[in-house]
Amino acid sequence: MKFSTPEGIGALILCALSIQYLRKFLDTPNRTPRWDQVLRKAWAGVGILFGIGAIFGIDDLSTGWLWAGFGAIIAYTVWLINDFKPARTLLLAVGPFMVMAFLSELMKSVVPTFREEYDDYIGSAMAFSVIWLITFIIIATRQKKALANESVEREKEAEKRREIEARKAELEALVAERTAEITQQKEELEHALAELRITQNQLVQSEKMASLGELTAGIAHEIQNPLNFVNNFSEVSVELIDELADEQQKPERDPELEAELLADLKQNLQKITHHGGRASSIVRGMLQHSRASSGQREPTDLNALADEYLRLAYHGLRAKDKTFNATFSTDLDPSLGLISLIPQDLGRVLLNLFTNAFYAVQQRQKQAGSSTSPALYQPAVRVQTRCENGQARIMVTDNGTGIPEELQTRIFQPFFTTKPTGEGTGLGLSLAYDIVTKGHNGTLQVESREGEGTTFIIKLPA
């Protein structure tokens, strides 16, 4: 080949262009930057080679060497980036052509006659290698495109993953924030709950005290009666002793009268003891009522409890409203015997029911009082106890105003009251309900007709 011939110049330019194409196709600036620095200078190298060839007038250089050098460059480049699949395919594409070109040139210089003789075969082989080259370049291009697509996909996925990661982190931060918020709220709620519990206990206590206040007058009245007896029987006893002393001074003593006086004296002292005991039991009951419940069940005479609280409730209301008068009666089943219950608690329930009953008849009496025939209405409250199927039943009945049907479901709710503000806490019945159901596993029911009266029924299991 001669450098000055079109063939030589063409080969050089082709080589240079091929290297340029190689660089672009294989993306060498990114994949192997250092080697790319060398490849970039391919133009310059080609120029220098061209210059040298022209100056020294080298005419006899086979283009095969050129192709072999170019092949080596490609091979080395591919070896550098062998993990890039299209590169290997490119090598496979270029390889046969390079080998053929090199062999053809080699044979030209070493065995020219052989070369001449098989020129047709070698030409066919060259043509085949060119087809091979083009085919594989197309394949390599496709591979590259596929890889590029793949990498774009991968990039997208990675982008997506990054987004998800970011979102996840964001969500986690949000969750942590919310958790902190909820924890704080929970703590606040717990605090509020604790405060509510304390308030509830205070309310229960104040309700107890309020009912005790209502009782005070009743208690005073109930204590006054036995005290009157104590005083009266004491005074009478002094009179009896005086009479006895007088009798003893007489010259003719009357043993029969003396015996009678002594018997009376003894009886009086027994009565003093009895009524003193009555007064103490009322005071004891009052103390028991105001004291926090022991929560201890003890065998209790339910009939006595009902009777005692009925009186206290009546006189309590009677003391507040002097014009008020009602009949109250008891129908107590003696077969009830002693029942295991918490006396303070059940006493409060009964007191509440009685107070409500007297309040209801009082209200109805007020309404009737404004009408034309007040004498027709006779307020009455009645308590009945029964022993039925092994359970105790206590019925508190009044003929008062009654409870409208729509309110009957609400009366056991805390703070529900129909009394004017300041008169009722609205806790009485709700506490009563809790005491009967939770404290004694019993039931508390109401039956009422508006304008006719109300009955509360407590059932306690034996």
Nearest distance in Å: CB 321, other proteins: 9
Burial class for 140, CB neighbours closer than 10 Å (0-12, 13-18, 19+): buried
Nearest distance in Å: CB 187, other proteins: 56
Nearest distance in Å: CB 229, other proteins: 6
Residues forming a β-bridge with 449: 453
Nearest distance in Å: CB 325, other proteins: 5
- Give the single-character DSSP code of 120: H
| Residue whose C-alpha is closest to residue 42's, from 65, 64, 14 | 14
Nearer to other proteins by Cβ, of 84 and 354: the residue is: 354
With beta carbons less than 8 A apart as the criterion, state whether 348 and 355 touch: no
Nearer to other proteins by Cβ, of 212 and 236: the residue is: 236
Nearer to other proteins by Cβ, of 144 and 315: the residue is: 315
Nearest distance in Å: CB 403, other proteins: 25
With beta carbons less than 8 A apart as the criterion, state whether 100 and 126 touch: yes
CA atoms of 415 and 412, how far apart (whole Å): 9
Nearer to other proteins by Cβ, of 130 and 227: the residue is: 227
Nearest distance in Å: CB 228, other proteins: 4
Helix/strand/coil for 372: coil
- What is the enclosing helix (H) or strand (E) of 460? strand 453-461
B/e letters for 162-190, b = 16+ CB within 10 Å, e = fewer, are eeeeeeeeeeeeeeeeeeeeeeeeeeeee
Nearest distance in Å: CB 226, other proteins: 9
Q: What is the DSSP string of 235-292?
A: HHHHHHHHHHHHHHHSSS--HHHHHHHHHHHHHHHHHHHHHHHHHHHHHHHHHHHHSP
Nearer to other proteins by Cβ, of 92 and 227: the residue is: 227
Residues forming a β-bridge with 329: 382
Nearer to other proteins by Cβ, of 97 and 229: the residue is: 229
Nearest distance in Å: CB 323, other proteins: 5
Nearest distance in Å: CB 225, other proteins: 7
With beta carbons less than 8 A apart as the criterion, state whether 11 and 46 touch: no
Q: What are the residues whose beta carbons fall under 8 Å from the beta carbon of 115, sequence distance 6 or more?
A: 104, 107, 108, 122
Strand arrangement, sheet containing 453-461: 327-331, 380-388, 391-398, 453-461, 443-449
With beta carbons less than 8 A apart as the criterion, state whether 133 and 89 touch: no
Residue with tokens 């002097």: 322
Here the tokens at position 176 are 């942590």
Nearer to other proteins by Cβ, of 206 and 327: the residue is: 327
Nearest distance in Å: CB 362, other proteins: 14
Nearest distance in Å: CB 244, other proteins: 12
Nearest distance in Å: CB 240, other proteins: 7
CA atoms of 137 and 128, how far apart (whole Å): 14
CA atoms of 272 and 221, how far apart (whole Å): 18
CA atoms of 390 and 310, how far apart (whole Å): 24
CA atoms of 401 and 358, how far apart (whole Å): 10
Nearer to other proteins by Cβ, of 232 and 367: the residue is: 232
Nearer to other proteins by Cβ, of 55 and 375: the residue is: 375
Nearer to other proteins by Cβ, of 324 and 416: the residue is: 324
Task: Enumerate binding residues for other proteins (CB under 8 A).
Answer: 221, 224-225, 227-229, 231-233, 236, 239-240, 264, 267-268, 271, 274-275, 315, 318-319, 322-323, 325, 327-330, 378
Nearer to other proteins by Cβ, of 243 and 450: the residue is: 243
Nearer to other proteins by Cβ, of 102 and 229: the residue is: 229
